[in-house]
Amino acid sequence: MSEHGDRTPFLGLAVAIVAISTGAILVEVSEAPSAVTAFYRVLFTTLPLLPIAAWRYREEFRLIRRRDLAFATLSGVALALHFASWFESLEWTSVAASVTLVQSQPLFVALGAWLLLSEYLNRRMVGGILVAVTGIATMSMGDFLGGVLVGPNPLLGNALALFGALMAAGYVLAGRSLRQRVSLIPYVVVVYSVCTVCLLVISLLQGGQLTGYPPREWLIFLGLAAGPGLLGHTVINWTLAHLESSVVSVSMLGEPVGATILAFVFLTEVPTAYTALGGIIVLAGIALTTVERERQQGEQ
């Protein structure tokens, strides 16, 4: 139970999961290039933070060391590549497959922590990773074998979503030690600013149009920032102060379920049997790996 002795953090977590579940749907209905959509999502998430950072954290920005700034920059680049590849994946594969696969980032975090940070990877974690890999193979290859495809090129879309998960893991690992020395607002302002610039460069290199969109598109951009950005991930960060991290981490697996339901309701997109089966296996593997990793860290 939460520190407050009430259900408010659980309610906040539920609201946050619904909010982040809308992200893929908003990207799917947007007619702007995926990189442009990602650019405006991060830009509109960052802008409200700048006055707060300038007013309350000016001195802390001056004290950030060059090494820490380098890691924050690396984290921002990884986050930009995460958004760019995941948003693009939604052009090629189903919402269900894309969101499930991009949510596999805890698997890459566990592997990266083992390879780069010498963290222990026990049998249950390895088992969870293998279960998830089995689900990924079922999801990615089953549709081709079954002859029923959702999306112009599901294999490409699935690969982009997996790359997005890998980049999300890089973002987490790069910022992990940094967050122990730099408070939240200065950290996210630097990371989001770098991410915004990178997405701007990607958009320009792809020839993306930055202006001239109808009001509907601007509402989608703002919705991505307000919903998945502020109501979603911001509230999730708040719940971490009141709920066990394992509860929050596993609850995040509700995003693929919520996004799949919303895609069915608003886009009449029905996942294939292989996508549904593979998705269930992937989520089971992620849950096993996440719970075991949180348990292991709690014992240290």
Is the Cβ–Cβ distance between 136 and 162 less than 8 Å? yes
Q: Which two tokens stand for residue 170?
A: 């890089």
What is the value of pTM for the model shown?
A: 0.88
How many other CB atoms sit within 10 Å of the CB of residue 126? 15
Contact 279, 97 (CB under 8 A): yes
Cα separation, 202 vs 102, in Å, equals 20
Would you give per-residue pLDDT tens digits along the chain (300 residues)?
454 456 888 899 899 999 999 999 999 999 999 999 999 999 999 999 899 888 888 888 888 888 888 888 999 999 999 999 999 999 999 999 999 999 898 888 888 888 887 778 888 989 999 999 999 888 877 666 655 667 788 889 999 999 999 999 888 888 776 767 888 788 889 999 999 999 999 999 999 999 999 999 999 999 999 999 889 988 887 887 677 766 787 888 889 999 999 999 999 998 888 888 999 999 999 888 888 887 776 666
- Please say whether the beta carbons of 294 and 246 come within 8 A: yes
Rg (CA), the chain: 19
Give the pLDDT confidence of 195-213 residue by residue, as tens digits: 999 999 999 999 999 999 9
